[in-house]
Amino acid sequence: MDDTTVPAHFNTETDDDNIVWLHIDKAGAGTNVLGTEVLKELDRHLKEIAAQNPRGLVILSDKKKGFIAGADIEEFTRIRNKTEALELIHLGQSVFNRLAELSFPTVALIHGFCLGGGTELSLACRYRVARDDPGTRLGLPEVRLGIHPGFGGSVRLTPLVGGIKAMDLMLTGRTIDGRQAKRIGLVDVVSPERHLRSAARRLVLDAPPAHRPVLADRLSNHALVRPLLARVFRKQVAKRVSEQHYPAPYALIDVWLKHANHPTRMLEAEAQSIAGLIKGITARNLIRVFFLQEKLKELGKDSAYQPKYVHVIGAGTMGGDIAAWCALRGFHVSLQDQAPKRIAPAMQRAHKLFKRKLKRPLKITTAMDRLLPDHRGAGIERADIVIEAIFEDAEVKRSLYREIEPRMKPGAILATNTSSIPLEELSGALQQPERLVGLHFFNPVALMQLVEIVNGSSTSEEVSRKAMAFTRQIDRLPLPVTSTPGFLVNRILMPYLMEAVVLESEGTPAAIIDTAATRFGMPMGPVELADTVGLDICLHVAEILAEHFNAEVPERLKALVADGHLGKKSGRGFYTFRKGKAVKPKASTSGWNLDDITNRLILRMLNEAVCCVREGVVSDQELLDAGLVFGTGFAPFRGGPMHHIHSVGAEMLRKELENLEQLRGKRFAPDPGWETLFTSGETAE
């Protein structure tokens, strides 16, 4: 190394077969990411290794977590203009080109995460070997950040596995394990840990021909076929996201369509396309959302807390699924309810979940072994955490707490999944009220990443910290909130849902209301969401919030519930449901002012968000945005409600609220919190 001031991110060894093993181990980091400094050092190593002309080169990672997690996203945020973006992309491309052009066999030895730039680096090697375990994940998830592969990923993946499989991976951003990667031709060998190195060595020594896809896969890149396939890809992408809000997948299709026959031109098209996308609003906001997620992860970082046993009381919709999820994530779980027959359906659901997630019979059996039906509650004594998910009734919960607390271990945490009862109403039943915390999961547990960590006035800081650490250990995102009615997510969601009900009762077709919301970028319209959550549950939460915040519950909602129309679970709500899907009557948008409808829906949500910030339900605006993006799917490309307010302009939005208040009544009265936003330091950046 000629520059000794730069910390080394690589080390090399040459073995008896004259194979160079290049270890990547980014200095001062737990994960390998490819920033400018790392890429430049890699380039210097590749030059030296090329001059050495060894028998072969194996690139591997010294990090426990995995190979390479991708490009350095932190660096993206410092890019000021297109020229700087191009500089970084061209650097990555030229380093990987150098790797691809080496005359001797090259192998990427992959374990754990191999994402984005990591996969692109591996694609520049002649062969790839992946560890055979579910924790090894390969993919090109760049579209999730509003960009697409730029270090030659699309240029090398499409000829390697064929246009259809390659574009599917890149357009969805999904990740696959080693076996799936082998099946499509992305890796050459999948091997258990103990044989990994010898598998890589064998590839170098035998130097078999590099993988070549079958004829059908090769044909999928043909100039005559591409226009046809491109149309299909665009249609598939359009079902998920619009080009206006998420331009990256569409841009990637264009790059492939125009240039797949010509690697050098395609490389440059990749670079130009990303340089255009990276400073766009969507990429900036999606990168922001990525960092919001990191922020939540950071909150659960207390690695000193190592609970092992979880006891869940209440095996209904929530408790059953929470128990299954904890067992899936490796905890020993006992599941209690009033009678064995109440636990049986939860056990069946757990089995289904394990089958879907774990696939292999041995792993499914082992997970089932970790989940014990326990109607007598024998697991309480050994539990590190007791999660209560019984009926939403404060007195029933209090009497349960009185009964179980004497049996709990000293230091064990009691977590309630209550969705509406302030913790102060429950903690009085406990000898040690400081051990009570809210762990508010969302339905369905296996899909919803967010868990609100509800801190009551007596919850100790230690218990709150442990609850956040546990939430991370079950691979969920903890959001600390105060114990105020509705906490954060339901409180902000409810005015939006209620406005949808008002609109519907005024005669706006449900499908039009939903379209107005999905056009804004919500993953599902409010009417369909209410039906999916259950109208009885919506009514219950709405009534609690109405009581505390002096709001009105629409009569239409009460009437539907009184008639037994509860939504999806009863087959009928605002919509009729067939095979679990809402049947939406065709409604033409012409004649409807969709912008007005969107405004009414979204402004009520934004107004409540401003109120929650003012009241300190969460400690800052970023946490509020994180909560709404991960708890409700609030249009991620807008970066969260508060960020959206700053982007559009707080003053203008407040004006719109004032106009609506004049027109439609006091439910639109702007919260006093808007004032502080005009002067606050938060900006749209």
Nearer to ligand NAI, 302 or 392 (CB): 392
Which of 239-247, 330-338, 474-482, 586-594 is the region at the interface with ligand NAI (rule: CB under 6 A)?
330-338
* C-alpha 682: how far from chain center: 25
Q: Interface mask (CB under 6 A) for ligand NAI, residues 341-380, using x and -?
A: -x--------------------------------------
Nearer to ligand NAI, 317 or 458 (CB): 317
Distance CA 245, CA 550 (A): 36
Residue from 186, 71, 206, 61 nearest 129 by CA: 186
**Binding flag, residue 158, ligand NAI (CB under 6 A):** no
**Binding flag, residue 319, ligand NAI (CB under 6 A):** yes
- Compute the least distance from the CB of residue 425 to ligand NAI, in Å: 12
Residues 545, 551: contact at Cβ < 8 Å? Answer: yes
Nearer to ligand NAI, 67 or 441 (CB): 441
Distance CA 574, CA 336 (A): 35
The CA-atom distances, in angstroms, between 315 and each of 30, 312, 326, 367, 387 are: 38, 8, 13, 17, 11
Nearer to ligand NAI, 317 or 455 (CB): 317
Which of 257-265, 388-396, 577-585, 594-602 is the region at the interface with ligand NAI (rule: CB under 6 A)?
388-396
- Compute the least distance from the CB of residue 327 to ligand NAI, in Å: 17
Which of 132-140, 333-341, 366-374, 571-579 is the region at the interface with ligand NAI (rule: CB under 6 A)?
333-341
70-71 and 33-34 strand pairing? parallel
Distance CA 208, CA 58 (A): 15
Which of 248-256, 360-368, 412-420, 663-671 is the region at the interface with ligand NAI (rule: CB under 6 A)?
412-420
Instruction: Using DSSP, state whether 671 is helix, strand or coil.
Output: coil
Which of 28-36, 259-267, 390-398, 478-486 is the region at the interface with ligand NAI (rule: CB under 6 A)?
390-398
Nearer to ligand NAI, 74 or 547 (CB): 547
- Of the candidate residues 314, 379, 627, 673, the single one contacting ligand NAI (CB under 6 A): 314
Residues 68, 24: contact at Cβ < 8 Å? Answer: yes
The helices-and-strands tally (H runs, E runs) of the chain is 29, 22
Counting beta carbons within 10 angstroms of the beta carbon of residue 206, is it exposed (0 to 12), middle (13 to 18) or buried (19 or more)? exposed
> What one-letter code names the amino acid at 64?
K
Residues 487, 440: contact at Cβ < 8 Å? Answer: yes
- Of the candidate residues 46, 251, 315, 492, the single one contacting ligand NAI (CB under 6 A): 315
Q: Is 116 left (phi over 0), alpha (psi -120 to 50) or beta?
A: left
Residues 326, 333: contact at Cβ < 8 Å? Answer: yes
Q: Interface mask (CB under 6 A) for ligand NAI, residues 436-475, using x and -?
A: -----x-x--------------------------------
Which of 232-240, 384-392, 544-552, 596-604 is the region at the interface with ligand NAI (rule: CB under 6 A)?
384-392
Nearer to ligand NAI, 391 or 678 (CB): 391
Which of 14-22, 301-309, 332-340, 565-573 is the region at the interface with ligand NAI (rule: CB under 6 A)?
332-340
- Of the candidate residues 61, 221, 282, 419, the single one contacting ligand NAI (CB under 6 A): 419
Q: Interface mask (CB under 6 A) for ligand NAI, residues 530-569, using x and -?
A: -------x--------------------------------
**Binding flag, residue 115, ligand NAI (CB under 6 A):** no
Residue nearest to ligand NAI as judged by C-beta position: 316
- Of the candidate residues 280, 307, 316, 373, the single one contacting ligand NAI (CB under 6 A): 316
Nearer to ligand NAI, 200 or 386 (CB): 386
- Compute the least distance from the CB of residue 320 to ligand NAI, in Å: 7
Residues 547, 577: contact at Cβ < 8 Å? Answer: no
Nearer to ligand NAI, 56 or 314 (CB): 314
- Of the candidate residues 53, 261, 338, 449, the single one contacting ligand NAI (CB under 6 A): 338
What angle separates helix 555-562 from helix 489-505, to the nearest 10 degrees?
90
**Binding flag, residue 404, ligand NAI (CB under 6 A):** no
Residue from 154, 153, 166, 174 nearest 217 by CA: 166
- Of the candidate residues 60, 155, 318, 489, the single one contacting ligand NAI (CB under 6 A): 318
Nearer to ligand NAI, 63 or 342 (CB): 342
Nearer to ligand NAI, 375 or 667 (CB): 375
- Compute the least distance from the CB of residue 276 to ligand NAI, in Å: 42
- Distance in angstroms between the alpha carbons of the first and the last residue of the chain: 38
Q: DSSP characters for 541-577?
A: HHHHHHHHHT----HHHHHHHHTT--BGGGTBSSSEE
Q: DSSP characters for 58-80?
A: EEEE--SSEEE-EE-HHHHHH--
Distance CA 289, CA 39 (A): 26
Residue from 561, 564, 386 nearest 463 by CA: 386
- Of the candidate residues 336, 459, 508, 632, the single one contacting ligand NAI (CB under 6 A): 336
- Of the candidate residues 154, 317, 473, 532, the single one contacting ligand NAI (CB under 6 A): 317
Nearer to ligand NAI, 392 or 675 (CB): 392
Instruction: Using DSSP, state whether 138 is helix, strand or coil.
Output: strand
Q: Is 23 tagged catalytic? A: no
70-71 and 413-416 strand pairing? unpaired
- Compute the least distance from the CB of residue 416 to ligand NAI, in Å: 7
- Of the candidate residues 46, 400, 408, 609, the single one contacting ligand NAI (CB under 6 A): 400
Distance CA 201, CA 623 (A): 48
Residues in 284-313 that interact with ligand NAI by CB under 6 A? 313
**The 3-state secondary structure of 196-242, one letter per residue:** HHHHHHHHHHHCCCCCCCCHHHHHCCCCCCHHHHHHHHHHHHHHHCC
Nearer to ligand NAI, 418 or 458 (CB): 418
- Of the candidate residues 154, 418, 459, 599, the single one contacting ligand NAI (CB under 6 A): 418
Size of the site for ligand NAI (CB under 6 A): 23
- Of the candidate residues 110, 186, 229, 390, the single one contacting ligand NAI (CB under 6 A): 390
Residue 325 phi/psi, 5-degree rounding, is -65, -40
Catalytic entry in 259, 440, 565, 643: 440
**Binding flag, residue 392, ligand NAI (CB under 6 A):** yes
Do you find a cis peptide bond into 410, omega within 30 degrees of 0? no
Residues 551, 565: contact at Cβ < 8 Å? Answer: no
Q: Which of the residues are catalytic?
A: 440
Residues that bind ligand NAI (CB under 6 A): 313-319, 336-338, 342, 389-392, 396, 400, 417-419, 441, 443, 537
